[in-house]
Amino acid sequence: MLNLQPYENPQYFLYLIIALLPVIIGMFKGFRMHWYESIFSLVFLVLIFDADKWPQGKALLGYVVFNLLLVYAYFKYRTREGSKNSTAVFYLSVALGIAQLAIVKFTPLFQHHGSILGFLGISYLTFRVVGTIMEIRDGSIKDLNMWKFVQFLLFFPTISSGPIDRYRRFVKDYDRVPDPEHYAQLVTKAMHYLMLGFLYKFILGYIFGTLWLPSVEHMAMASRGGAFLGLSWPVVGVMYAYSGYLFFDFAGYSLFAVAISYLMGIETPMNFNKPWMSYNIKDFWNRWHMSLSFWFRDYIYMRFVFFVMKHKWLKSRVSTAFVGYLVLFLIMGIWHGETWYYIVYGLFHAMLINLTDAWLRFKKKHKDFFPHNKATHYFAIFMTANAVCLSFLIFSGFLDTLWFH
C-alpha cells in the first residue's frame, strides 16, 4: 500500500496540492468545507501511518483516545461549579499527558529497540496536550469543543515536527473563513514559502547534508589520531556543515508546514526568523525554532520562576533566573534524547544564556566603556553564530563517534 512521509519528496506535494484544490476553491468562494478538510486530513494521516508504519498508527490511535479522555476529564473537573482547582489534580493530569512520551524517550536506556508506544510526531502532540491542560488550569480556555480539539491535535501539516500551535489561536482560524483578499495574500505567501522550502530542504540541505557533511566527517575521523581529543580543522568543517544542514533541512520543513497550513486557512506560527542574525543567545532563542522555544518559555521557565518566587526558595531574581535557565535547558536537552550529548547541548545553552544575562547586567552598569555601533553589533552576531554552531556540533553526536567509536 502507498505510504507517504511528510514533505519527503515531490510526489508527496503533487498528491497534496491535488487534494487541496477543493479547499482552495472553496476559500476563494467564501466558504469552508470542514467535512472535506476532515476527510482529507484523515486520508493523509492514513497514508503516513499505513503499510510498515501501521504499528506507529496503532500507537497514535491509542495516544489520541487516551489524551482526549484526559483533556476532557480535566476540563470538566476544572470548569465544574465549586471546583477547587487542585494543584495535585493538575500535576497528575500533566504527568499523564507526558507519560507516553516519557516511556518512548527512556525505553532505549533499558532495551535496544524503541518503544511500541512511539510514533511520528509524539513530541509535538504532547506539547499540544500539555499546553492545553495548562491553559485550562489557568482559566484561559473556558470553552473546549472536543471535535475542534481533535482537529487541533491531529492537524496533519504540522503533525510530525511542528510548528507548535496553541488551541485558542488555532480555533480562531478554524472557525472563520478568511475574506478573498486576505486568503489571496495567504496563498501568495504559501507559494513563496513552498519555493523557499524547496530551495532550503532539497537543494541547500542536500548540499550541506549529503555532499559536504560525509566528506568532512570522513576527514575528521581520519585526522583524529594525532590531535588533542581528536580535534582538528576537519572537525570545524563538520561543525559548520552540520549546522547548515540542520538549519536548511528543518527550516525547509517548517516552511512547508506553514505553507500548507496557510492554504487551509490556518495561520500556523512561523518557526524561524533570521536566526543567524542574532546578536546574542537570548536573541537567538527568539528567532530559532520559535514555537518550541516560546512553548518552553511560557509553560516551563515562567511557571518555574513563578513557583520559586511564590514559595521564596530563592531570594535573588538573578539566582532564580539562573536556576530557571538550567532547569529549562536541561529539560530541553533530555527531551531531544537521553544520550550525553543532548544533555550537554542543553547545559551548554543554559551556560551561554546565563553568561549573556551576566554580560548584559555588567554592560548596563558600564555603558561608557562598551560602545554600541555597527562594528560591535556585527562582531556580536559573528560570536553568537559560532557559539550556536559549536552547540550544534555537540548536538550532532559526532563527538560521541569521534571519541568513543
- The pLDDT score that the predictor gives to residue 223 is 86
- The pLDDT of residue 4: 82
CA distances from 6 to 2, 3, 15, 85, 260 (A): 13, 10, 11, 40, 11
Mean pLDDT of the chain: 93
Q: What percent of the chain stands above pLDDT 90?
A: 82
Query: In this predicted structure, what is the pLDDT of residue 378?
Result: 95
Q: Which residue, 145, 160, 176, sits at the end of a domain?
A: 176
Determine, yes or no, domain membership for 172.
yes
Active site residue 112: no
The predicted structure's pLDDT at residue 220: 93
| Cα separation, 281 vs 376, whole angstroms | 15
Closest CA to 35 of 147, 125, 146: 147
24 falls within a domain:
no
Structural domain includes residue 26: no
Instruction: Report the pLDDT averaged over residues 35-58.
Output: 91
Residue 60 maps to a domain: yes
CA nearest neighbour of 114 among 122, 105, 123: 105
Which of 176, 210, 229 represents a domain boundary (last residue)?
A: 176
Say which amino acid occupies 316. S
Residue 179 φ/ψ, nearest 5 degrees: -65, 155
Active site residue: 182, 336, 366, 377, which one?
A: 336
CB atoms near residue 368 (< 10 Å): 5
Region 95-123 average pLDDT: 90
Average pLDDT over residues 41-67: 93
pLDDT surpassing 70 at residue 1: no
Q: Which of 55-59, 267-271, 305-309, 360-364 has the lowest mean pLDDT?
A: 360-364
For residues 81 and 142, the answer to whether their CB atoms sit within 8 Å is no
pLDDT for res 368:
74
Calpha distance 190→167 (Å, rounded): 22
- Domain extent, residue 303, equals 273-404
| pLDDT tens-digit series, residues 242-298 | 999 999 999 999 999 999 999 999 999 999 999 999 999 999 999 999 999 999 999
365 pLDDT more than 90: no
Q: Is residue 59 part of a domain?
A: yes
For residues 396 and 291, what is the distance between their CA atoms, to the nearest angstrom?
A: 21
Round the CA-based radius of gyration of the chain to a whole number and report it. 23
Tell me the C-alpha distance between 37 and 71, whole Å.
Answer: 23
Q: Within a domain: residue 10? A: no
Specify if 215 maps to a domain: no
- Name, in order, each residue with C-beta under 8 angstroms of 8's C-beta and a sequence gap of 6 or more: none
User: Are 277 and 393 found together in one domain?
Assistant: yes
- Number of domains the chain is built from: 2
Q: Averaged over 188-213, what is the pLDDT?
A: 97
pLDDT recorded at residue 256: 97
Can you tell me the distance from the alpha carbon of 232 to that of 213, in angstroms, rounded to the nearest whole number? 15
Asked if 257 and 266 count as a contact pair (C-beta separation under 8 A), the reply is: no
Q: Is the peptide bond before 163 cis (omega within 30 degrees of 0)?
A: yes
Residue 35: how many other CB atoms lie within 10 Å: 8
Identify whether the C-beta of residue 72 lies closer than 8 Å to the C-beta of residue 143. no
Domain boundary pick from 146, 176, 206: 176
Q: pLDDT of 381-403, one tens digit each?
A: 999 999 999 999 999 999 999 99
Task: Tell me whether residue 218 is in a domain.
Answer: no
* Mean pLDDT of the 81-95 span: 92
pLDDT tens readout for residues 208-243: 999 999 999 999 998 887 667 778 899 999 999 999
Asked if residues 260 and 20 have their Cβ atoms less than 8 Å apart, the reply is yes
Q: Indicate whether 394 and 278 sit together in one domain.
A: yes
At 64 the pLDDT is 97
Report the SS3 class of residue 130: helix
